[in-house]
A = this chain, B = another copy of it.
């Protein structure tokens, strides 16, 4: 019955750090393949070859375990996208490379992507916060790119663009899963075709930008956060993959 109990009772008792990594790996697997809800802690424990209370010892709760998995996936995603963008030479190229990296991420990190993709609407406030944090990471990343393309554009519009682009990315990544013949390159190209034109000088609007709109933005800007949270370099920290 024991799964990870290979060759007698030899394989037991690891150090905390070791176990943590092992559990994370297996949990990622289980969450990715069965989904958060359907994944049972008992099942994860069994696959690890450990008893359930240990999972709680290490991660506090089911949500905590998922959270730890997501943290890893999030770091990977950020690394991929910022690495890709690092070598770009023009703002358009930058955006394109970022998009491309995003679409490639889904193929190169299937498991992490499955996590980010499927567990994006799990209940739990902390989880919501984390997921939203991941999106904000992508949004601010995108904002940074946009700021280069559209230096004179109103901050509000820039943020709106960034949000819209992230949303478009997510949706297209999902769409691609039903169309395997659409390569990451093609997806990125499509998206660039859609948003590129508006980033090349012509960012105003399809109609004239209503003056009342900008005024409204400024009037109600009390709740806005200062734009200092953005430009951080890619955190090239140690990559502890178990």
Contacts and interface: CB of A to CB of B under 8 A. Distances in A.
A170 B167 contact: yes
A130 interface: no
A222 interface: yes
A210 B189 contact: yes
Interface in A185-224: 185-198, 200-210, 213-214, 216-217, 219-224
A226 interface: yes
Most buried by B among A90, A97, A196, A235: A196
Contact of A167 (B97, B171, B200, B228): B171
Contacts of A97: 217
Interface in A156-170: 156-157, 159-161, 163-170
Contact of A196 (B120, B156, B205, B221): B205
Contact of A190 (B36, B164, B195): B164
Contact of A220 (B90, B165, B166, B191): B90
Interface stretch (A43-51, A53-61, A175-183): A175-183
Contacts of A35: 123
Contacts of A118: 121
A198 B207 contact: no
A181 B217 contact: yes
Contact of A195 (B186, B195, B204): B195
